[in-house]
Homo-oligomer: A and B are copies of this chain.
Amino acid sequence: MTNQIKSEDGQAGRPSSPSTLQTKRTGRIRERNRERILAAAEEKFSLHGFRGTTVQSIAERADLPKSNVLYYFSNKKLIYYALFGDIMGRWNAALSEIKPEDDPALALASFIRTKVEMSRTHPLTSRLFAMEIIQGAPLLKDYLCTGMREWVRGRSEVIQQWIDAGRMAPVDPVQLILLIWSSTQHYADFQAQILIIEDKETYVQKDFDHAADFLTTVILRGCGLELPQGSNGAAALDPERAEAF
């Protein structure tokens, strides 16, 4: 939440409101080009990692001369840093808090669905993050040590309370979070593999829905939970056979 990786020139006045439109016209170009560079960088870094990506290739993708890229970001590392500043903020914003009084089934289902949706809408971000972690998180280590550890601790405490209250099966909360994390992340990170296995060219919305349904069904049932009738996520289970279990 408040945790933001630094870098990223902070407020960077967006010319959004009509009042500031005139006063803050300076920087418009800067903003636009920054975005283009970061978008290109996300693509490249997520594909080849930090070392494997050249500034030149980012520049080409952004359709700018290399000099111009280095005018905005004085070196490669700064681009990388800036990217993660954006990313972690976006993630924190997307994943809502859970509270002890929430319904466990609904809360977990929502978590799963949001995460799958993020795999769909931001696959590059997901892969970039994965790359960074696989490489030992040299850059994110600090952030993870504070931000994410807190994040996980908070959620697992709530889950533990659900368990203590007998509202779900007693499973290790941290492991549960990891399970949801990995299984959802997978749809973005291992897209290539999945597409090959399923013999498809691309994912469509339906595929993600199907995946989310499946994960919700299995994981919730695995936690001794069931979605309230009519809730989203029960579609994966064939009602004919479902009652047998």
Interface residues of A in 170-197 (CB under 8 A from B): 170-172, 174-176, 178-179, 181-183, 185-186, 189-190, 192-194, 196-197
Bound Cα distance A179, B183 (Å): 6
- Looking at the complex, which one of B134, B193, B219 makes contact with A222 (CB distance below 8 Å)? B219
The reply on A241 being an interface residue by CB < 8 A is yes
User: Could you tell me if B51 and A196 are in contact, using CB atoms closer than 8 angstroms?
Assistant: no
Tell me whether A47 and B221 are in contact in the complex, defined as CB-CB below 8 angstroms, given that A175-B214, A183-B179 are known contacts.
Answer: no
Interface of chain A, main secondary structure: helix
Bound Cα distance A169, B211 (Å): 16
Interface residues of A in 194-245 (CB under 8 A from B): 194, 196-199, 210-211, 214-215, 217-224, 236-238, 241-242, 244-245
Q: Chain B residues near A46: list those with CB within 8 A.
A: 134
Closest to A177 in B: B197
Closest to A137 in B: B192
Which of these binds chain B: A34-42, A73-81, A145-153? Answer: A145-153
The reply on A130 being an interface residue by CB < 8 A is yes
The reply on A10 being an interface residue by CB < 8 A is no
Bound Cα distance A238, B170 (Å): 7
Q: Chain B residues near A196: list those with CB within 8 A.
A: 137, 141, 144-145, 148-149
- Looking at the complex, which one of B52, B166, B172, B185 makes contact with A236 (CB distance below 8 Å)? B172
Interface size on A, residues (CB 8 A): 66
Q: Chain B residues near A237: list those with CB within 8 A.
A: 169-171
Q: Chain B residues near A127: list those with CB within 8 A.
A: 134
User: Could you tell me if B245 and A169 are in contact, using CB atoms closer than 8 angstroms?
Assistant: yes
User: Could you tell me if A193 and B52 are in contact, using CB atoms closer than 8 angstroms?
Assistant: no
Tell me whether A148 and B51 are in contact in the complex, defined as CB-CB below 8 angstroms, given that A130-B134, A170-B237, A178-B186 are known contacts.
Answer: no
Q: Chain B residues near A149: list those with CB within 8 A.
A: 196-197, 199
The reply on A107 being an interface residue by CB < 8 A is no
Q: Chain B residues near A222: list those with CB within 8 A.
A: 217-222
Bound Cα distance A55, B172 (Å): 43
Bound Cα distance A131, B50 (Å): 13
Closest to A138 in B: B192
User: Could you tell me if A47 and B135 are in contact, using CB atoms closer than 8 angstroms?
Assistant: yes
